[in-house]
Amino acid sequence: MVGVSQQQLTPYVKNYSKLNYEGEALVWGITQTADRQLYFANNKILLQFDGNRWQHHWLPEKTIIRSVFAVENKVFTGSYMEFGYWEMMDGHLTYTSLSKKFKLFEEKGNDEVWNIFSFQNKIYFQTFFSIYIYDGKTIKTVKTPSQITYAFPVKNQIYVASITEGIYRFENGAFYPDKRIDQLKNKVIHSILPYRNGLMIFTQKEGVFIFENDEISSWKNDLNKTFQLEMINSALRISDSKYAVGTSGDGLYLVDIESGNYTNLHKNNGSLQNNSVLSIFQDKESNLWLGLDNGISFVQNDANSFVYQDFTGKLGSVNAIQKTENGFLLGSNHGLYALENGKLQLIPGTQGPVWSIAKVGSQFIIGHNNATMIYEGGNLQKINALPGGYRFEKQEDNLYYQANYVGLYQYQFINGNWVHEKLAPKLIKPINQFFKKEEFVLATDMYRGVYKINLENNEFVEVQAEDKSHLYNSKMVEINQQLYFLSNRIWYELDNWSNQLKKSDRLNELLPTVNNILPLGKDIFLVESNSILSVVKIENQKMTWVNIPDKYYKGRVVNDWISGYLKNNYLYLNLDNGFLVHKVSFEDTADAKVFINAEGNGKQFIRGEKLGYYNNAIDFFISTRKYGYADINLYYKLSPSDQKFQPIKNGKISYTHLPNDSYSLVIASKSGKEFTVIDTFDFTVKKPWFISNLMILIYLVLVFLVYFLYHSFIQRQNKQKLAQLQHEIELQKELVCIKTEAERKEAEHWVEMQKLEQDIKSKTSELASKTLSVASQSELLKELESIQKGIEENTPTSTIKKDISKILRDYNYNQNEWKVFDTNLNELHEDFVSRLVKSYPNLTPKDIRLAILLRMNMSSKEIAPLMRKSFRSVELQRYRLRKKLKLSSKTNLSKFFIEF
């Protein structure tokens, strides 16, 4: 960063707490593999981190991991009575114990591996009393002459720090005391690092020593007094002259040995979450990772991005920023502040909002809420009482315009004084932006006004718009010599003929989602789109976008008042409670690389994997494994399912229940509206078993088999139907024969029935004749009565005898006729008699005879002569019969027997 003392600013820092990585507090060591993954010795956990995803690994006995060191993609760890290495096998990090393989530790031992390093293609595992040297096949054990703290490889030499005996040189498996450094005996040494042609030695409590030209001396710097008060835990050389020093209670110091400048990152200035730095590691991008007493911190250690943030709360939202020789001037809603030597001071007399700071020579023109002021050489002077200077910009030599609360003003520096004059005196509006175009000035106010000022007559007209209701707090920019206005995400362009704003089809298509825009130079702009800030360069009708990672400003952009400038490729941008200085590079990012990890159901998938239909849940873990300035925002889409790219959140993409198909996960970066594909991951979701190729073949066979069986069945059915039809024909023939026979029998039966009817008629006739015979007997009785009467009247005896003889002959004849009548009567009503006797077994023959006569619907008078009884006797017998049948007097006996 040209012309800026870097100690004024702190590098970007990101803290990871236990909640973030879901591990333990202490972090003893850090390393990085060739594939850019980071590993942390987090007490009993080996943490693995790719920039988005934390993974956890444990030793078999879950002992504390004190040290970690990577060679290529193999990770070595040291623990209590244990050391070995981890490597990827089938997508899983697998541990191999070297100490157990070579049986290095005794059961009664009490040793821990606190340090691991490589030297001349060998790996060194160091405890307090031994060093184990691993050449890839064998391990050599070397006992130390005394208790040591750490061993340090420096250039072509290994130095071993003893607690009581100073420093040894370790050569060819032997320890040699370095008498030149006897001054450090009985001092706990926590780091030995290269320094020019010598060594820089960091002790725990006595500060820093320089060993050079065979002489050792205390580092002559005021900061060394601080190190003597604050115990040094760790140190690391991060460049030729720059060192990172971790303390036990005052955080991290980034020290430039040559200039003496330093930056202190600690909890009190909001940088670190914990002030005890146990370990320091520099990754492949030169960023620093700090293992803290409680958590992990990332420090972006480059000259590309710096963030200043005031944690006291006195600064407030920054509206304007300008670099000075010794620091920065900051205009905020609380006043004008000077940031020098890391200290923030309010300039007296500037309380209140400051909207703009413009540098003119050695002067800074301050647009204050109450007046316009000059700040020069630490002195503040009021130019005039014009309030709310939003902008102060140079138009041509010794001609400046200022937009403020009451309009637009013209300034000139004449005879050592600033002289101002109002443009368009009748325009009294809070102007916030302006642009000079030949003999006109276009100006916008804070609300819905756009004005065109004629510089020749100093008059203005209000520019009309197609839909003025959308024209609120518009932003004005010149692109390719054409003026455009942005308001509510809609672009307008000025029609010079009609002095009217019309929607710009071209820009609304090229920049459809822009919320805010700030000119940074000719055809270079700062653009806010969908909460992402980008620097856009328009060159030869081509737009080049450089996205600024939102980790630097997320949640801190000053809404509706983005202010800043671009100088020497560094963007200076205002933020809430501070500002950002960020290097802008328009270099092509086509070489960007991403790492895609695909996992599901406890296994890792490779490219081209075929997933089962019922088991196709898949998680993609995406990372650039770039942790600092080079990190980029990534987007994805799954072809053919997704039509549009979507931003990747937290580095994870998950899919479940995907239909069977061939898929390609496409990872891309974004520049404006354009997406550049970085990588793809192809995989397939197999068809469900019931529509697999094998099953389809089986289905075809089954269809053929079913068709064959159906065809056979139909043929068999047809044969059966034919046989059945023939059988039915035979049955019909038989039925015809049976019917003919039945008809014949029916005819015979009819003849027989006719004969029976004739018999019945004959019987009936006989019965009738018998009935008449009986009736004649009744006449006989009458004759006897007549003879009796003649006797009584003294009829001659001969006559009486003759009559009696005739009656006797007739009577004998009638007796035979009665028996025949009685028999025929019973035979004629045999069925009736049978049913009657069965139902009423107590009936006498006389009762039955009476019942038959009643069934023949005869009256008592008609029945009396047939039964040789008087009418009264018949009535009495009817009464008795009714009692036996248990019939009421209302029941008609004749009807009862007829229906019986």
Distances (CA, A) of 787 to 753, 773, 793: 50, 21, 9
Which of 247, 273, 303 is the endpoint of a domain? Answer: 303
User: Do 824 and 844 fall into the same domain?
Assistant: no
User: Do 77 and 128 fall into the same domain?
Assistant: yes
Segment 609-649, tens digit of pLDDT: 888 888 788 999 999 888 877 777 899 999 998 889 999 98
Q: Is residue 161 part of a domain?
A: no
Portion of the chain with pLDDT greater than 70, in percent: 90
pLDDT of residue 632: 79
Number of domains observed in the structure of the chain: 4
Q: Is residue 396 part of a domain?
A: no
User: Do 638 and 773 fall into the same domain?
Assistant: no
Q: Indicate if the pLDDT at residue 538 is higher than 60.
A: yes
- Contact (CB, 8 A) for 527 and 516: yes
Confidence label for 207 from pLDDT (cuts 50, 70 and 90): very high
Dihedral over Cα of 277, 282, 286, 287: its sign = negative
Question: What is the number of residues in the chain?
Answer: 900
635-639 β-sheet, strand order: 609-611, 674-685, 661-671, 635-639, 646-647
User: Do 865 and 841 fall into the same domain?
Assistant: yes
User: Do 237 and 297 fall into the same domain?
Assistant: yes
pLDDT of residue 182: 87
Segment 72-100, tens digit of pLDDT: 999 999 999 999 999 999 888 999 999 99
* Cα–Cα dist 382/403, whole Å: 17
Query: Per mean pLDDT, which range of 387-396, 613-622, 773-782, 842-851 is the poorest?
Result: 773-782
Averaged pLDDT, 815-826: 65
* Cα–Cα dist 515/533, whole Å: 10
SS3 sequence of 183-227:
HHCCCCEEEEEEECCEEEEEECCCCEEEEECCEEEECCCHHHHHH
> 126, exposed or middle or buried, with CB in 10 Å at 0-12, 13-18, 19+?
buried
Q: Is residue 85 part of a domain?
A: yes
User: Do 19 and 86 fall into the same domain?
Assistant: yes
pLDDT of residue 589: 52
User: Do 806 and 850 fall into the same domain?
Assistant: no
Confidence label for 273 from pLDDT (cuts 50, 70 and 90): very high
If one compares 779 and 274, the residue with the highest pLDDT of the two is 274
500-503 β-sheet, strand order: 464-465, 500-503, 490-495, 482-487, 475-479
Confidence label for 769 from pLDDT (cuts 50, 70 and 90): very low
Q: Is residue 685 part of a domain?
A: yes
User: Do 53 and 128 fall into the same domain?
Assistant: yes
Q: Which residues contact 473 (CB under 8 A, 6 or more apart)?
A: 432, 446, 447, 487, 560
Q: Indicate if the pLDDT at residue 11 is higher than 80.
A: yes
* Cα–Cα dist 432/861, whole Å: 144
User: Do 821 and 836 fall into the same domain?
Assistant: no
The CATH number of residue 835's host domain is 1.10.10.10
> Six-digit token pair at 617?
């849940």
User: Do 837 and 799 fall into the same domain?
Assistant: no
DSSP-assigned letter for residue 687? P
pLDDT of residue 4: 40
User: Do 823 and 840 fall into the same domain?
Assistant: no
Confidence label for 786 from pLDDT (cuts 50, 70 and 90): low
Helices 830-839 and 845-855: crossing angle, nearest 10°?
A: 120
Q: Domain containing 233: what range?
A: 6-143+221-303
User: Do 228 and 98 fall into the same domain?
Assistant: yes
Segment 484-524, tens digit of pLDDT: 999 888 999 988 777 888 999 988 988 888 999 999 988 89
Query: Per mean pLDDT, which range of 275-279, 368-372, 653-657 is the poorest?
Result: 653-657
Q: Is residue 662 part of a domain?
A: yes
Work out the mean pLDDT of the chain and round it to a whole number: 87
Q: Indicate if the pLDDT at residue 791 is higher than 70.
A: no
Which of 278, 303, 328 is the endpoint of a domain? Answer: 303
Q: Is residue 399 part of a domain?
A: no
Closest listed residue to residue 130, CA positions, set 118, 139, 138:
139
Confidence label for 315 from pLDDT (cuts 50, 70 and 90): very high
Q: Is residue 792 part of a domain?
A: yes
Q: Indicate if the pLDDT at residue 776 is higher than 90.
A: no
Segment 700-734, tens digit of pLDDT: 998 999 988 888 889 988 888 888 888 888 888 88
Q: Is residue 281 part of a domain?
A: yes
Averaged pLDDT, 785-793: 65
pTM for the structure as a whole: 0.75
Confidence label for 817 from pLDDT (cuts 50, 70 and 90): low
pLDDT of residue 848: 87
Which of 805, 828, 851 is the endpoint of a domain? Answer: 828
* Cα–Cα dist 332/413, whole Å: 26
Averaged pLDDT, 672-678: 84
Closest listed residue to residue 392, CA positions, set 563, 525, 560:
563
pLDDT of residue 7: 46
Q: Indicate if the pLDDT at residue 1 is higher than 50.
A: no
Query: Per mean pLDDT, which range of 495-504, 568-577, 762-771, 857-866 is the poorest?
Result: 762-771
Closest listed residue to residue 193, CA positions, set 146, 221, 220, 157:
157
pLDDT of residue 216: 94
